[in-house]
Amino acid sequence: MTIAATTTASQQPVIHPGAESGSSAPALVVEDLRKYYPVGGALFRKATSFIHAVDGVSFQVARGESLGLVGESGCGKTTTAKMLVKLIEPTDGKIVVRDRHEQMVDLATLGGRDTKLFRRSAQMIYQDPYESLNPRRTVFDTIAEPLVVQGIGSLHDRESRVGRMMSQVGLTPIGNYMFRFPHELSGGQRQRVAIARALILEPTLVVADEPTSMLDVSVRSNIMQLMLDMRERLNATFVYITHDVAVARYMCDRIAVMYLGKIIEIGRTEDILEHPIHPYTRALISAVPVPDPGFVRPKVDIKGGIARPVDPPKRCRFYDRCPLASKVCEDNDHPPLTPRDGDRLVACYNA
């Protein structure tokens, strides 16, 4: 049954709070991932400074699990996402993905042909459905394109696969939408097309970069529900990029909070929301407005604004803004992620 068809007065459609992931074998392993961008270089002058967009990020995601990368603009979450699907090459570090044949593939070793095959296993969903769809292609052309590129199926097969996919993402009746162009669709419908395109190859890894942040609230919950359904259906591993911890709460089993290229706290979503440990996580969660006029949020107690990580000093990235900053933080390198209660990791000397 499609999402769109389920709205009636008697059975109110709902998103059920996160079904917990079962399997534990890692489907994505990221080790010490780095991406530095040179700044200040010129034609015959080598750049001497670097923006440390992503600076030593490590995490694992199990098959069927959903990990949220959460943080403010400039924290490196989108750069990380693009490296996961090999849209940009890391400066250093390792990404290993379990592909559709259950092989662990090291992205750095992939050549051109293998990269193309890898794309059957890993797909990305983008933020803005107004920009991610080609305005001259019909819905059918857009959704079928991955099949065409990968040379899968005859035209007839593709038609039926696209049709099935469209009904799964709620673009029904199919005949109504198949030959429409993006400008004839609403924002929510466009994002459904983008999701259908990403999922038609039945990828095992889906990286979604703020897929609902451009959508209106009432449409957003539909798309969130759709992504949860599709994740379950494909048993795919999801990496979900978002600045909105409230959305992450519904979409992610675990979240990793990023600050200036570093993961500063990672753990189960509910644990972190209920009991954030790192002072930045605490501030981030306190700063989120709550849709309840009676709720009084705790004061946010960090100072200053986010800086550009150009050749950052070795000490903790959060030092300048941190309410807990002390001599230890100044004298030592950026703190390593260390285990706290349960399966939580926190990068802080003082929290």
Partner 1 sequence: MSLPVLEVKDLTVEYATARGPVHAATGVTFTLAEGDSMGLVGESGCGKTTVALSLMRVLADNATIVRGHVWLDGVDLTELPEPVMAKQRWSKISMVFQAAMNSLDPVHRVSDQIVEAIEFHEDVSRADAFARARSLFGAVGLDENMLRRYPHEYSGGMRQRAVIAMALACNPRVIVADEPTTALDVLVQDRILDQLREIQARLRMAMIYISHDVAVIAEVTSTVGVMYAGRIVEKGPTRDVFVTPIHPYTEALLGSVPSARGPKKPLRTLAGDPPDLISLPPGCPFAPRCPNALERCRVEDPPMVGSEGHWALCWNPVRPVEPVSPAAPVKTLTMTRE
Q: Is 20 in the site for partner 1 (CB under 8 A)?
A: no
The amino acid occupying position 46 is K
Q: Residue 196 and residue 201: Cα distance in Å, rounded?
A: 9
How many CB atoms within 10 Å of residue 94? 14
Shortest Cβ distance from residue 3 to partner 1 (Å)? 7
Q: Is 182 in the site for partner 1 (CB under 8 A)?
A: no
At 265, which helix (H) or strand (E)? strand 262-268
Q: Which stretch binds partner 1 (CB under 8 A): 45-53, 92-100, 200-208, 210-218?
A: 210-218
DSSP conformation letters of 159-199: HHHHHHHHHHTT--SHHHHTT--GGGS-HHHHHHHHHHHHH
Q: Considering beta carbons, is residue 118 or 259 the nearer one to partner 1?
A: 259
Q: Is 176 in the site for partner 1 (CB under 8 A)?
A: no
Q: Considering beta carbons, is residue 128 or 244 the nearer one to partner 1?
A: 244
Count of residues engaged in binding partner 1, rule: CB under 8 A: 55
Is the CA virtual torsion 295, 296, 301, 305 positive or negative?
A: positive
Q: Is 266 in the site for partner 1 (CB under 8 A)?
A: no
| Per-residue mark of binding to partner 1, 61-100 (x: CB under 8 A) | -----------xx---------------------------
Which of 112, 135, 175, 289 touches partner 1 by CB under 8 A?
A: 289
Per-residue b/e over 21-46, b at no fewer than 16 CB within 10 Å? beeeebbbbbeebbbbbeeeeeeeee
Q: Considering beta carbons, is residue 119 or 275 the nearer one to partner 1?
A: 275
Q: Apex CA 244: angle with CA 186 and CA 211, to 5°?
A: 35
User: Which positions lie near partner 1, rule CB under 8 A?
Assistant: 3-9, 12-17, 72-73, 186-189, 216-222, 224-225, 243-247, 249-250, 270, 273, 283-295, 297, 300, 302, 305-306
